[in-house]
Amino acid sequence: MAGKSLYEKIWEQHVVVDEAGKPTLLYIDLHLVHEVTSPQAFEGLRLHNRSVRRPEHTFATMDHNVPTDDPFTVLDPIAAKQIQTLVQNCNEFGVPLADLQSEDQGIVHVIGPELGLTLPGKTIVCGDSHTSTHGAFGALAFGIGTSEVEHVLATQCLWQKRSHTLRVHLTGVRRPGVTAKDIILGVIARYGVDFGSGYVLEFTGEVIRSMSMEERMTVCNMAIEAGARAGLIEPDQTTFEYLRGRRYAPRGEAFEQAVERWKALASDPDAVYDSTLAFDITDLSPQVTWGTNPAQGVGVDGVVPDPELLESETERRGALQALAYMGLQPGTPITEIAVQHVFIGSCTNSRIEDLRLAASIVRGRQVAASVRAMVVPGSKAVKRQAEAEGLHEVFRSAGFEWREPGCSSCLAMNPDVIPEGERCASTSNRNFEGRQGRGARTHLVSPATAAAAAIAGHFVDVAAYISREEAYVWNRS
Ligand SMILES: CC(C)[C@H](C(=O)O)[C@@H](O)C(=O)O
Ligand code: SF4
């Protein structure tokens, strides 16, 4: 019999009911909750007189709606209602909540891992597509809809169809300035926004093995932008060291025993995948998207492509429409595109390493006069750590705004909206029309490229901003 992949192992450990030709009932180990997709789910419980099956395996936070200048002044009535409703629901149903006062509050996909709620081998769901982030720990993690949120709250189980598996094997050596974000943007630019459709992606190879947990989370975060059900990375020593001592992770002897179980989750050498692709990152430059989906991107040393040269009619039409929305001309060098906004944040790139990286570019430099730049830490814990290291001073003295945690400019659900027609270099994961505000133009980039764009006022190859002493960091893989 062939060996098993990580996905198959986690799946099999969680089957509750499995009947031929029907979806499988899976046990869910961790249910993360936020204010936007939970109100109707709790309302449904109330209507049917149900309780939350495992409140201790449920954890809520508020992130999407929270104003990042003054979190306690929520002017938008819908946002205020959703935030209040989450507080009431968590009180009534006994669900632990990191509310605005809590030292644990932050973006749901940032706090799960940092609290040690996210652990290898778990099944993790949340009413949020970027739940794929947690797959970086070797957890099977995916987004669910609001009616499924209700089902999981009530039963701690979920009906699921088994996915196919696609192994994404990453090899090669990074050029200075190339981050995990550039690697995943590069993969999506090459294979498109739905190559992952119907699959769970397992990222493998030396490039992944040499990545930190923060970097792995960035990769898995964007698996969803390739259309995948989830992204997965085999847990290893890097994973275990990250988790050691985290609040909800096992402690002492129990931790060592858990590590042994987690090691056994690794895909067997003879595991069979439904599909495999290999990608060599050696020639990859820092990436910048020019269009309105994450696959419409090129290297910073490239130019805005000519839609007429694209192969398929659909691609051509898509590119023409994207360029019209983005206000760009074919052939324009990426480095000639000026930005008015820089947003460093979101569940893709708001962790401590992202901020350290951006700060290393910004240190001793000034934000261009034409740019409004903002750093939004992913959680209170990231903010505390960054402040302990003095990163906030680096950003502030360069002219960046230093904000409170939340989803912020990643999406226009809170006051951090990008004005119509203006351009933003953003470390987030989605760039569709209107994502950051009506008529706002989003360019997806890494935190390093975003920081460099803030200084230059336009896109630049961040390699030019990296000192010789720092360059070694980039050559780890
Ligand atoms: C609001 C929420 C449902 C949504 C998601 O599911 O991803 C948001 O987080 C996003 O990034 O678009
Ligand atoms: S930061 Fe952006 S992508 Fe992540 S959960 Fe919030 S809105 Fe969604």
3-state secondary structure of 200: strand
Owner of token pair 């205020």: 80
**Based on the domain organization, do 292 and 150 belong to the same domain?**
no
**Is residue 21, in this structure, part of any structural domain at all?**
yes
Q: To test ligand 1's pocket by mutation, which of 35, 109, 128, 221 has the most ligand atoms within 8 angstroms of CB?
A: 128
Q: Does pTM top 0.90 for this prediction?
A: yes
Q: What is the domain count for the chain?
A: 2
Count other C-beta atoms under 10 Å from residue 51's C-beta.
Answer: 12
**Is residue 238, in this structure, part of any structural domain at all?**
no
Share of the chain above pLDDT 70, in %: 98
Question: Measured between alpha carbons, how far is 153 from 106 in angstroms, rounded to an integer?
Answer: 21
Please state the rounded mean pLDDT for residues 104-127: 98
Please state the rounded mean pLDDT for residues 258-267: 98
Residue 2 pLDDT > 90, yes or no? Answer: no
Question: Measured between alpha carbons, how far is 403 from 87 in angstroms, rounded to an integer?
Answer: 23
Please state the rounded mean pLDDT for residues 131-154: 98
pLDDT band at residue 472, thresholds of 50, 70 and 90?
low
Taking the centre of ligand 2 as the mean of its atom positions, its distance from the CA of residue 229, in whole angstroms, is 17
What stretches of 344-379 show up as alpha helix (H) in DSSP? 352-362
Atom in ligand 1 nearest the alpha carbon of residue 413: 1
**Is residue 64, in this structure, part of any structural domain at all?**
yes
Question: Measured between alpha carbons, how far is 402 from 410 in angstroms, rounded to an integer?
Answer: 16
Please state the rounded mean pLDDT for residues 417-441: 98
User: Is there an atom of ligand 2 within 6 Å of 182 CB?
Assistant: no
Burial of 467 (0-12, 13-18, 19+ CB in 10 A): exposed
Query: What is the reported pLDDT for 28?
Result: 99
The domain that holds 102 is classified in CATH as 3.30.499.10
Under a CB-based contact definition with an 8 Å cutoff, are residues 270 and 429 in contact? no
Q: Which backbone phi and psi does 469 adopt, to 5 degrees? A: -65, -35
Taking the centre of ligand 1 as the mean of its atom positions, its distance from the CA of residue 226, in whole angstroms, is 15
Burial of 61 (0-12, 13-18, 19+ CB in 10 A): buried
Q: To test ligand 1's pocket by mutation, which of 32, 35, 130, 442 has the most ligand atoms within 8 angstroms of CB?
A: 130
Structure ipTM over 0.90, yes or no: yes
Query: What is the reported pLDDT for 123?
Result: 99
pLDDT band at residue 297, thresholds of 50, 70 and 90?
very high
All residues at 6 or more sequence positions from 297 whose CB lies less than 8 Å from its CB, including other chains: 185, 186, 188, 189, 287, 288, 289, 290, 291, 444
Question: Measured between alpha carbons, how far is 395 from 111 in angstroms, rounded to an integer?
Answer: 23
Of 161, 195, 221, which residue constitutes the final position of a domain? 161
Q: Is the dihedral of CA 318, 430, 353, 31 positive or negative?
A: negative
User: Is there an atom of ligand 2 within 6 Å of 346 CB?
Assistant: yes
Q: To test ligand 1's pocket by mutation, which of 32, 34, 35, 36 has the most ligand atoms within 8 angstroms of CB?
A: 36
Residue 447 pLDDT > 80, yes or no? Answer: yes
Atom in ligand 2 nearest the alpha carbon of residue 345: 1
Atom in ligand 1 nearest the alpha carbon of residue 128: 6
Please state the rounded mean pLDDT for residues 222-227: 98
Please state the rounded mean pLDDT for residues 445-466: 96
Count other C-beta atoms under 10 Å from residue 54's C-beta.
Answer: 16
User: Is there an atom of ligand 2 within 6 Å of 180 CB?
Assistant: no
User: Is there an atom of ligand 2 within 6 Å of 392 CB?
Assistant: no
**Is residue 306, in this structure, part of any structural domain at all?**
yes
User: Is there an atom of ligand 2 within 6 Å of 449 CB?
Assistant: no
Query: What is the reported pLDDT for 340?
Result: 98
**Is residue 464, in this structure, part of any structural domain at all?**
yes
Please state the rounded mean pLDDT for residues 381-399: 98
Q: Which residues of 415-432 are buried (b: 16+ CB within 10 A; e: fewer)?
A: bbebeeebbbbbbbbbbe
Span 72-93, pLDDT tens digits:
999 999 999 999 999 999 999 9
Query: What is the reported pLDDT for 477?
Result: 44
The more confidently predicted of residues 368 and 310 is: 368
Taking the centre of ligand 2 as the mean of its atom positions, its distance from the CA of residue 464, in whole angstroms, is 30
Q: Show the ligand 1 pocket: residues with CB < 6 angstroms.
A: 36-37, 64, 128-130, 143, 411
Question: Measured between alpha carbons, how far is 224 from 306 in angstroms, rounded to an integer?
Answer: 27
**Is residue 427, in this structure, part of any structural domain at all?**
yes
Question: Measured between alpha carbons, how far is 459 from 449 in angstroms, rounded to an integer?
Answer: 7
What residue type is 193 in one-letter code? Answer: V
Element (H, E) at 289: strand 287-289
Q: To test ligand 2's pocket by mutation, which of 34, 36, 63 has the most ligand atoms within 8 angstroms of CB?
A: 63
DSSP string, 45-72: HHHTT---S-GGGEEEE--SS--SS-TT
Supply the residue whose CA is at minimum distance from atom 1 of ligand 1.
Answer: 36
Can you read off the two tokens belonging to residue 273? Answer: 């995948």
Atom in ligand 2 nearest the alpha carbon of residue 108: 5
3-state secondary structure of 288: strand
Q: Which domain holds residue 50?
A: 6-161
Query: What is the reported pLDDT for 474?
Result: 54
Q: To test ligand 2's pocket by mutation, which of 346, 348, 404, 444 has the most ligand atoms within 8 angstroms of CB?
A: 346
Of 135, 161, 187, which residue constitutes the final position of a domain? 161
Question: Measured between alpha carbons, how far is 117 from 33 in angstroms, rounded to an integer?
Answer: 13
User: Is there an atom of ligand 2 within 6 Å of 347 CB?
Assistant: yes
Taking the centre of ligand 2 as the mean of its atom positions, its distance from the CA of residue 2, in whole angstroms, is 38
Cα Rg of the chain (Å, integer): 21
| Among 471, 285, 450, 298, CA closest to 368 | 450
Of 129, 145, 161, which residue constitutes the final position of a domain? 161
Residue 330 pLDDT > 70, yes or no? Answer: yes
Owner of token pair 């990296």: 466
All residues at 6 or more sequence positions from 311 whose CB lies less than 8 Å from its CB, including other chains: none
**Is residue 137, in this structure, part of any structural domain at all?**
yes
Q: What interhelical angle do 108-115 and 380-388 show, nearest 10?
A: 70
Supply the residue whose CA is at minimum distance from atom 6 of ligand 2.
Answer: 407
**What 8-state DSSP symbol labels residue 340?**
S
Atom in ligand 2 nearest the alpha carbon of residue 408: 1
| Among 305, 284, 293, CA closest to 461 | 284
Q: Which backbone phi and psi does 425 adopt, to 5 degrees? A: -85, 115
Alpha carbon of 69 to those of 29, 403, 454: distances in Å?
34, 6, 20
Under a CB-based contact definition with an 8 Å cutoff, are residues 277 and 167 in contact? yes
Taking the centre of ligand 2 as the mean of its atom positions, its distance from the CA of residue 143, in whole angstroms, is 12
Residue 386 pLDDT > 90, yes or no? Answer: yes
157 marked as part of a ligand binding site:
no
Atom in ligand 1 nearest the alpha carbon of residue 130: 7
Length of the chain: 477
Alpha carbon of 206 to those of 87, 233, 280, 342: distances in Å?
44, 12, 11, 32
User: Is there an atom of ligand 2 within 6 Å of 107 CB?
Assistant: yes
**Is residue 375, in this structure, part of any structural domain at all?**
yes
Burial of 260 (0-12, 13-18, 19+ CB in 10 A): exposed
Under a CB-based contact definition with an 8 Å cutoff, are residues 208 and 218 in contact? no
pLDDT band at residue 471, thresholds of 50, 70 and 90?
low
Supply the residue whose CA is at minimum distance from atom 2 of ligand 2.
Answer: 410
How far, in whole angstroms, is CA 140 from its chain's centroid? Answer: 15
3-state secondary structure of 372: strand
Chain-wide mean pLDDT for the chain? 97
| Among 472, 470, 443, 452, CA closest to 287 | 443
